């Protein structure tokens, strides 16, 4: 009986393992870097994830030094695991707020504080 229980457990784990592999999109690298300083006014924004993201349904916002939020237009998605944009920003402290839709259908959100010189 124990033998069948272990076999059933192993079989169940094999069935769900592919679903576990489809994890939420985790941010691996960004430009600008978290707490980084970049030179403006024209900046490039690039976010790289650990899995495929749907660029058409993902978003990037920039929070201005005065607290107002501006939605940025995403560039054409060049790679399945990244999306990018660009902005013209004056010197100051900003925060990027991003939202990525991963291949598993889950939305991941994050923030990237940075400074423009």
Residue 3 to residue 5: CA distance in whole angstroms: 6
CATH code assigned at 86: 2.60.40.1220
Domain that holds residue 76: 24-116
Asked whether residue 10 is assigned to any structural domain, the reply reads no
Residue 3 to residue 84: CA distance in whole angstroms: 52
| Tens digit of each residue's pLDDT (9 = 90 or more) over 99-109 | 999 988 899 99
Asked whether residue 95 is assigned to any structural domain, the reply reads yes
For the chain, the domain total comes to: 1
Closest CA to 28 of 7, 46, 40: 46
Query: Three-class SS of residue 14?
Result: helix
| Tens digit of each residue's pLDDT (9 = 90 or more) over 17-41 | 444 445 689 999 999 999 999 998 9
* Structure tokens belonging to residue 101: 């839709």
- The torsion region of residue 93 among left (phi > 0), alpha (psi -120 to 50) and beta comes to beta
* Full-model pTM: 0.76
């Amino acid at each position: 009986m124990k033998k069948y229980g272990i076999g059933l457990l192993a079989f169940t784990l094999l069935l769900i393992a592919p679903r576990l592999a489809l994890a939420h999109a985790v941010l691996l690298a960004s430009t600008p870097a978290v707490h980084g300083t970049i030179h403006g006014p024209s900046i490039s924004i690039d976010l790289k994830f650990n899995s495929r993201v749907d660029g058409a349904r993902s978003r990037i916002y920039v929070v201005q030094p005065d607290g107002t939020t501006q939605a940025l237009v995403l560039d054409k998605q060049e790679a399945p695991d990244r999306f990018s944009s660009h902005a013209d920003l004056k010197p100051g402290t900003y925060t990027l707020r991003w939202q990525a839709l991963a291949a598993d259908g889950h939305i991941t959100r994050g923030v990237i504080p940075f400074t423009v010189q």
